[in-house]
Amino acid sequence: MARTKEFDPDAALQKALELFWERGYEATSMADLVQHLGIARASIYATFGGKHDLYVQALERYLQTCDPNVVEVLSQPGPALPAVRSLIEAYTEESLCDQRRRGCMVVNAAVEVMPRDPQIARRVEASWDTLETALTSALTRARAQGEISADKDPRALARFLLVLMQGIRVLGRAHPDSGRLRDATAQALAVLD
């Protein structure tokens, strides 16, 4: 007879996500996971695999909650430029208001794990591609609707904004200087005029 799990795997995965997001992959040990999740090491291995497998699943969960929101915000009918502006400003404000200075888990994974982990690299690249595509689409609509000048290249602008937004997250985690982040945001928004 199979034993019933004595914990909720979904809740445990959410707790693992929070711990990895706060500490990063390398600074989180299996002992930390056991303590934070409140379940035995054997149960973690049996349910999720090893630490790396659990990290990948936690990153996937993060992506499933964040990436669709960005696409939805940028895909709304009507004027597109206000949505782009709002998204950039939201990145800045979230970075400045993040009391725990967790940053963005995708950016954290890119800086810490991506250079030596092809599995994580694919997921990070896919997230960046999603953001770039959503921005390109919104900026193409903005150009077609006369919100930005016809000589602006939506894809090049999207790539510029992608790099800016990821940089905002890095600075927000490392040293959230409001003047620096708000000035960079203002310059990016000026490029869209």
Between residues 20 and 5, which one has the greater pLDDT? 20
pTM of the model: 0.89
CA 133 to chain centre: 15
Q: What is the pLDDT of residue 4?
A: 52
Q: Model confidence at 134, in pLDDT bands (50, 70, 90)?
A: very high
The domain spans of the chain are 63-192
Q: pLDDT tens digit string along 78-98?
A: 999 999 999 999 999 999 998
Q: What is the pLDDT of residue 66?
A: 82
Q: What is the pLDDT of residue 183?
A: 94
CATH code, residues 63-192: 1.10.357.10
Q: What is the pLDDT of residue 3?
A: 52
Q: pLDDT tens digit string along 143-171?
A: 999 999 999 999 999 999 999 999 999 99
Give the integer Cα–Cα distance in Å for 149 and 96.
31
Provide the mean pLDDT of the chain.
92
Q: For residue 1, is pLDDT > 70?
A: no
